[in-house]
Amino acid sequence: QRAMSINNARLRSSLERVASGIRLNRSSDDIASMSISESLKGDVKALQQGGKNLNDGIAMINTADGSLAEQAGILIRLREITSQSATGTIGDTERATLNLEFSALRIEFDRIAATTEFNDRKLLNGDLASSSSNTTILQLGIDSNDSSRFNLNQEINLTAVTSKALGFNASNISTDTAALTAMGKLTTAIEELSSIRGRVGSVQERLGFSNDHLNSTVENMNSAISTLRDADFAEEFAGLTRNQILVQGASAMVGQANLIPQSVLTLLQAQ
């Protein structure tokens, strides 16, 4: 009866594992594996949230880059009409018209800088510069170490992208002389904006690789958890069959054991 009770317990455990597909249904099943898998599960959850944080950061940088691309287009157009105004083959009327376009495009350039934001966070006003006190840190890893965080301000150093910051806020092209002066300032502004976009591009690329690495790490850790916790069906079905046979054998032996007293009683009655 004791053997049958033990075999019944083993059979119930086998049935539970096969039905749930999980080898570790309670700590007592494998204390060491349970402890390791729980720790890994905690790390996976932290890394998955880190991946979400990283994707938010990528979206923020992409938003900034889209606006910078529009500003670059405006600078190129400003440079074009400035060159046109600097030539001696046009008159004052044409220059006045070109200067109106110049002023309108500069206003739009500054409007983009003032209104580009992500989740109420301004992106092109200098808040993402390395000197800004309003630091953006992306938490990626599983602890508080610097290697688990990504400081966008330090990495991208996205200084203010306004006409004043780039040095052409007071420019005009109403005369050929003013246009020549503006041309030099716009050339410098285009170079500065190109440098800014280069930093943005490098951060975009780095964040992309970081995202790939996070996804790979989570996948491998989930595989490790599966190895520790999930049932091996080939092994479990073999164990289930064995336990079923043992329970059936134990039940039969209990029946045989119950016949022994009856046999003795029969012999006593015969005497």
Average pLDDT score over the chain: 84
Average pLDDT over residues 27-44: 75
pLDDT at 37: 75
Instruction: Give the pLDDT band of residue 241 (cuts 50, 70, 90).
Output: confident
pLDDT at 10 over 90: no
**pLDDT tens-digit map of 89-148:** 888 899 999 999 999 999 999 999 999 999 888 999 999 998 888 888 888 888 888 888
**pLDDT tens-digit map of 189-216:** 999 999 999 999 999 999 999 999 899 9
**What CA–CA distance (Å, rounded) separates 86 from 178?**
8
pLDDT at 271: 58
Residue 230's DSSP bridge partners are: 22
pLDDT at 76 over 80: yes
CB 171 within 8 A of CB 181: yes
| 146 CB burial (10 A radius; 0-12, 13-18, 19+) | exposed
CA distances from 226 to 17, 20, 229, 238 (A): 14, 13, 5, 20
**What CA–CA distance (Å, rounded) separates 104 from 108?**
6
pLDDT at 7: 67
**What CA–CA distance (Å, rounded) separates 139 from 47?**
9
pLDDT at 263: 62
* More confidently predicted of 17 and 175: 175
Average pLDDT over residues 259-264: 62
Percent of the chain at pLDDT > 70 equals 77
pLDDT at 256 over 70: no
